[in-house]
A and B are shown apart, each in its own frame.
Chain A
Amino acid sequence: MSAEVKKYTMAQVEALELAPGTEHENLEGWVPELANEEELRQALEKAFDYRGDVTLTLKSGERIEAFIFNRRTGATLADSYVQYFTPNAPEKRKISYAEIARMEFSGKDRAAGKHWEDWVKNYNEKKAAGEKNIALVPDRLE
């Protein structure tokens, strides 16, 4: 949700005709600097919101491809952790913020290009070309 809403009073919110939505960032391919603790925390918060896999490089040198679905933040990095699934393991895993040295938004952003306008444009182009049974299909499970 954009910060713009925050300045509205309750009465204004009740009178809203259209709702300002969240501004989604284009994060695919991003490698945050992680120059300090705050940057690491902010990057992991973005990873929690990201609809794709990220690659974590640990201070031990181990690399993990992960879909981060949860985070718990504590007072220190050692007290904070993310929970994730990897493509090749069935169970949930977790890792402390303190163990993370590098992060890359390496996986495809699965929410990108899924806007209503994208569908309307796609539909109109196909319709104009005379196509029948026009549809969007789910991504392949590869």
Chain B
Amino acid sequence: MAIPISQMWTVSTYVLKKKLTGQKRFSLTLMLEPLFRCSLACAGCGKVQYPPHILKKQLTPEECFAAAEECGAPMVAIPGGEPLLHPQIVEIVNGLVARKKYVYMCTNALELKRRLPEFTPSKYLTFSVHLDGQREHHDFSVCREGGYDIAVEGIKEAVKRGFRVTTNATFFDGTDPNSVRAFFDEVMGMGVEGIILSPGYSYDKAPDQNHFMGRARVRRLFRAILSNRKPTWKFNMSPLFLEFLMGNRTYECVPWGMPTYNIFGWQKPCYLLQDGYVESYKELLETTDWDQYGVASGNPKCANCMVSCGYETPAIIDGFGSWKGFVAMVRGTFSKYPDAGAQKLLDEAAPHEPAALVQIEEPANSLEETHV
């Protein structure tokens, strides 16, 4: 596992304490969005489509610290928008690190290399760099030629300076699993601590609604990608969540596990759905009708979601909350997941052509059978 022992210890003791005290709902990661402004304009992104006066707004450092303290989660992810565009981002990060929060600063890394001297390496600080695949795939995904090379420069410089670095990828329909596996080889070769990944999800604020995989296709893609692992690959995620993506185990959505705070307030119910806002974390926990969300709820807005913001928390709680889960997590950490069927899926996938752009299939918008 790529995650340091100290972080695992902090998270495991936090989970055990919550369980022993009988707390039904608690958060593991605060999703802190200090601004929505971004230096990329990725087609289909539903996070940055706001009028200019909203894009100019940002949280103050004090608002960020108050949210982190109120929530109490041991980890804070800072997505956005692009956090490096926030004029006080260094102060925000330093303040969270001083509070011993494990900070994952999610960045497109276009400005990372230039800004690195302003940050101090710490076990509490990780730069989580958005890379959606190999060069051509990433550039096409973020709608910017040359974006990959700039991000990789930032990654290499951050690694050189002693920072914790992960990559963070979202995979959509049409993803070539062979290319993704080659991408894993590339990024591990850059010296990153681990890989973070997630399937795309058709949350209703995303302007593009046609290129999202259903659950059957997600499981098949991730089975092809994550089985028969190479020993060099490390993942900065719960092994049980990866098994969930591969279709080896089931979890119910836990939207309260990664609550979101931004300029509008505490977002109901999760990082991707925007069903309204409240003023406090307490109000979020107490007034959200949690049973209305997740696949099991029957809510059509959640039908194809398998995203980490809903499904990694139950995997982490499973792993640290019982001996059975812990044993499965340890086994998953070291397993290579040999799977002849997954190899067949890889063999049947279109051969990887480095110069080819991502090819998206036309959506059928109909219920199809799974063919594995």
User: Which A residues fall within an 8 A CB radius of B?
Assistant: 1-6, 8, 10, 12-24, 49, 51-53, 67, 69-72, 83, 85-88, 90, 92, 107-108, 110-112, 114-120, 123, 132-142
Contact = CB atoms under 8 A, between A and B. Distances in A.
Given A17-B213, A19-B212, A111-B46, A136 B144 contact: yes
B202 A1 contact: yes
A133 B184 CA distance: 25
Contact of A114 (B51, B57, B208, B217): B208
Contact of B300 (A3, A117, A141): A3
Interface in B166-214: 173, 201-202, 204-214
B138 to A, nearest CB: 13
Nearest to B365: A20
Interface residues of B, number: 64
A81 to B, nearest CB: 12
Nearest to A108: B51
Contacts of A115: 43-44, 207-208, 210
A21 B202 contact: yes
A111 B49 contact: yes
Interface in B39-83: 39-46, 48-57
Contacts of B370: 15, 17
B143 interface: yes
Contacts of A111: 46, 49, 205, 207
A72 B43 CA distance: 31
Contact of B369 (A15, A20, A23, A136): A15
A116 B208 contact: yes
B334 interface: no
B356 interface: no
Most buried by B among A15, A17, A114, A115: A17
Given A21-B204, A116-B208, A123-B140, 5 more contacts: A18-B217, A67-B54, A83-B277, A112-B207, A141-B52
Contact of A138 (B40, B215, B363): B40
Nearest to A140: B52
Interface in B93-148: 140, 143-147
B303 interface: yes
Contacts of A134: 144-145
B296 A10 contact: yes
B8 interface: no
B52 A139 contact: yes
Contacts of B298: 6, 10
A129 B120 CA distance: 45
A62 B300 CA distance: 39
Given A71-B276, A138-B40, A8 B211 contact: no
For the complex of A and B, the 9 pairs showing the least CB-CB separation, nearest first, are A21-B209, A16-B214, A19-B304, A119-B43, A111-B207, A17-B368, A135-B144, A114-B207, A22-B204
Contact of A136 (B37, B43, B173): B43
A3 B367 CA distance: 13
9 contacts: A1-B202, A1-B300, A15-B368, A18-B368, A21-B210, A51-B49, A136-B144, A138-B48, A139-B52
Most buried by B among A69, A72, A92, A107: A69
A12 B300 contact: no
Contacts of B159: none
Given A85-B53, A116-B44, A132 B209 contact: no
Contacts of A83: 264, 277
Nearest to A139: B52
A15 B39 CA distance: 37
B216 interface: yes
Contact of A118 (B43, B295, B303): B43
A22 B208 CA distance: 9
B332 interface: no
A92 B279 CA distance: 11
A136 B41 contact: yes
Contacts of A86: 53
B38 interface: yes
Contacts of B212: 18-19, 21
B204 A10 contact: no
Interface in B3-59: 37-46, 48-57
A17 to B, nearest CB: 4
